[in-house]
Structure 1
Amino acid sequence: MSDAPRYEIDPAAFWRNPYPDLARMRESAPIAFVPQLGATLFSRRDDIFVCEKNVAVFSSHQPGGLMNRLMGHNMMRKDGDAHLSERRAIFPSVSPKTVRDVWKQTFEAHADTVLDELDPRAGADLVKDFALRFSAECLKSLTGLVNMRSQDMDAWSQAMIDGIANYAGDPAVEARCHSATSGIDSAIDDMVPVVRAAPNASLLSVMLDGGMPMESVRANVKLAISGGQNEPRDAIAGAVWALLTHPSERARVEAGEASWMQVFDEYCRWLAPIGMSPRRVAVRHRYGDITFEPEDRVFFMFGSANRDEAHFIDPDRFDVSRATSKSIAFGAGPHFCAGAWASRCMVAEVALPKLFGRLRGLQIEEGAQVRIGGWAFRGILNLPVRWKPR
């Protein structure tokens, strides 16, 4: 393993709130081996920004990694030409032009359908009653798996996320992940003849039309589901929660002093839904005063980078007018999130303006305890709300 200094964590406390530990690491041990995670963590923004691009050393190709073993070898776990060829293959489905011309209208229709079913007399948990359902319906359209149920999309996404973050090796977590991937494979099998007969802009259709091998099609659909469901879900619910608990920031948005896109960008910096990206050390390498050995496991902590005091003043504060250009919420370099444009559209152009536009007087249920958790993936777990009838 690397000769980086050791930093001990309490895994349960780290899951509840990793930011105090990450702040201490940035100050005293910005590259540190954490034995509880079996990995060397990078916590400063500049180190991550530089090293994430050095794929010859910090490789995404992890043949024995959890994602490859549980979900198949997708483009996120490939480097160089292998990664680029698959990224190019999916681009027609998730390009800015396709998002604008095809998916935005689809996303708006899904948002209206879900919002129409909410009852102000009963209130709602915006996580499960809107963010989960809206994100799942959008992802069903985007992947081409319109034969899935929204609750399965969410449950299977979470099962895969839990599986690829299962560094403790819990067999029950692994079993749920296998069940999820089997369900997705069945859904793909059912939809392949449908999209072959009537091609569309979905990921499944575009990948098949481009001649991608079926093994890679399956792996990349699972990749899209693992990230494309929970991250927009968490960003929607989290951004709403952030505005409801920061009334002065909400007032600035409603007065037109800040845009919904600024809300989205600042929320993803402040409470990054993707908190970490793993890498495998491919060759012996020295960075600064630390030597890395082949097969070392490295975690680039995006959630820490986005609160780095060297780039963000008062980084623990939610500020919708903040300049977020230094944020790496979607990663950096060749592995910048391919679904970023779709995510921005879903959250900032559709979900947030529709929620605050249609649910008048939206507020958190009095006395409600909102729970937040996670460090590799972090999000709001519940958000009970009330609003005024029309």
Structure 2
Amino acid sequence: MSDAPRYEIDVQRFWADPYPDLARMRAEAPIAFVPQLGATLITRRDDIFVCEKNIAVFSSHQPQGLMNRLMGHNMMRKDGEAHLAERRQAFPALSPKTVRNAWTAKFQAHCDRILEELAPAGEAELVKAFALRFSAECLKDITGLTNMRFEDMDAWSQGMIDGIANYVGDPEVERRCHAATAGIDAAIDDMLPVVTNTPNQSLLSVLLQAGMPMESVRANVKLAISGGQNEPRDAIAGAVWALLCHPAQLRKVYTGEASWLQVFEEFARWIAPIGMSPRRVAKRHAFAGVTFEPEDRVFLMFGSANRDEAHFDAPERFDVSRDTSKSVSFGAGPHFCAGAAASRAMVADVALPAVFARLKNLRVDEGEAIRIGGWAFRGVLNLPVAWN
């Protein structure tokens, strides 16, 4: 175990709102061992930026980690050439060019159809009625699993997310994760002959065409689902909520002072949908006055880095005019999110402008409290809204 100072948390309070504890850690113990999580947390942006690149020490290869055990050995849990090889094989499905030429038009069609069905109602819970469904329909195309229902895509993604963040070892959470991965395996099996006979630009098809072993194909498709569903879903709902609660910031978009992309980047800084990335210490190492021991579990706290006072003035404030270039919402090292281009297109190019254009006088319904939760993955859990 590292010799970092101990920092105690209340797990439920940390899940409800991790930012006060993270701010205190940044100020008093920027590298701290949290016994309730069984991990050493790195909370300052510059420390994370350095350590994430030092893969010889802070390794993504975690043979006994929750993701490997529950979802299979995917590219996120590999380093060096093993990681780069699988990343290169996946690139044709996720590159900015493919997103621009193949996926964005499909994203727009899904968005327009869902909003056309939704608009006459005049009110909805927007997470379920739009953000969840839109994200899932887009991800069905990207992964190639068009045989799935959007409800299953979201439920199975959440099941895996909960499973790989299950650091307290809840057996029911693990059971739901196993059920989710079994469902995805069945969907993959069903689509194999389809994409084999008619190859396309989907991730499943591209990985098969590249000759990736089937075990790795399954693991990487599950990886795409685990992050590719919740991150856009939570960014869409969260950014809509943030703009409705900060009308001055929404006016900046309408007047051209800020773009929808700036809205997305600032929201992802302010409330990072992916707030943490785990690492395994591969060898004894001293950094910033702390000695790490082999097999220590380390959490790179992206959500904390994005509110680091050393780089962001008044970091708790949502400000779409802010320079977000120092944020690490998509990571900072070799594991920079492979789906970043698709996520930006879904949220900034398609969903946000369409929602505010189609749902006139959009406003929060004050009759129901809005809930936000999570620290490894964080998002708005419900968003009751109304429009004219």
If the length of structure 2 is used for normalisation, what is the TM-score? 0.99
Is the Cα–Cα contact under 8 Å of residues 120 and 386 in structure 1 kept in the other structure? no
Equivalent-residue separation in structure 2 for 1:255 and 1:119 (angstroms): 25
Kindly report which structure 2 residues correspond to 1:1-390, keeping only aligned pairs within 5 A, or say none: 1-388=1-388
Q: Per-residue CA shift, 1:324-378, capped at 9, x if unaligned? A: 0000000011000000000000000000000001111000113321100000000
* CA distance in structure 2 between the partners assigned to 1:289 and 1:107 by the alignment: 48
Q: Do the aligned partners of 1:72 and 1:216 also contact (CA within 8 Å) in 2?
A: yes
Contact 1:18 1:375 in 2 (8 A): yes
Runs of 5+ unmatched residues, structure 2: none
Partner secondary structure for residue 41 of structure 1? strand
Query: In 1, are the aligned partners of 2:119 and 2:359 still within 8 Å (CA)?
Result: no
Return the letter of the residue paired with 1:184: I
Offset of 1:116 from its aligned partner? 1.2
How many angstroms apart in 2 are the aligned matches of 1:199 and 1:357? 36
CA distance in 2, matches of 1:323, 1:108: 28
**Aligned to 1:111, what secondary structure does the other structure show?**
helix
Distance 2:339 2:366 in 1: 36
Give the distance between the partners of 2:274 and 2:163, measured in 1 at CA.
Answer: 15
Aligned-partner SS, 2:286: strand
Q: How many residues align?
A: 388
C-alpha distance in 2 between matches for 1:115 and 1:139:
18
> Which whole-Å deviations, capped at 9, do the CAs of 1:50-71 have from their partners, x for residues lacking one?
0000000000000000000000
Letter of the structure 2 residue corresponding to residue 231 of structure 1: E
- State how far apart, in whole Å, the 1-side matches of 2:126 and 2:97 are: 30
Would you identify which runs of 4 or more consecutive aligned residues in structure 1 move more than 4 Å? none
User: Which shows bigger deviation, 201-210 or 120-129?
Assistant: 120-129
Distance in 1 of aligned mates of 2:213 and 2:309: 45
Assess if the C-alpha contact under 8 Å between 2:62 and 2:68 holds in 1: yes
* Offset, 1:256: 1.3
The Cα shift of 1:113 comes to: 1.1
Query: How many angstroms apart in 2 are the aligned matches of 1:134 and 1:290?
Result: 44
Q: Partners of 2:140 and 2:358 in 1: how far apart? A: 24
* Percent of residue pairs identical: 75
Instruction: Give, in whole Å, the separation in 2 of the partners of 1:313 and 1:170.
Output: 39
Q: Distance in 1 between matches of 2:190 and 2:119?
A: 35
RMSD: 0.6
Look up the equivalent residue of 1:185 and give its one-letter code. Answer: D
- Measured in 1, the distance between the counterparts of 2:255 and 2:270 equals 22
Distance 1:310 1:119 in 2: 43
Deviation track 1:74-97 (CA, whole Å, cap 9, x = no partner) reads 000000000000000000001010
- Partners of 1:116 and 1:164 lie apart in 2 by 36
Residue 275 of structure 1, CA deviation: 0.3
Offset of residue 121 of structure 1:
3.6
Q: Equivalent residue of 1:100, what SS?
A: helix
2:46 partner amino acid: D
1:122 Cα offset (Å): 4.8
Query: What secondary structure sits across from 1:56 in the alignment?
Result: coil
* Equivalent position amino acid for 2:311 in 1: H
* Contact residue 120 and residue 387 of structure 1 kept, 8 A: no
What is the distance in 2 between the residues matched to 1:7 and 1:82? 35
- For structure 1, list consecutive stretches of 5 or more residues without a partner in the other structure: none
Counterpart contact for 1:114–1:134, Cα < 8 Å: yes
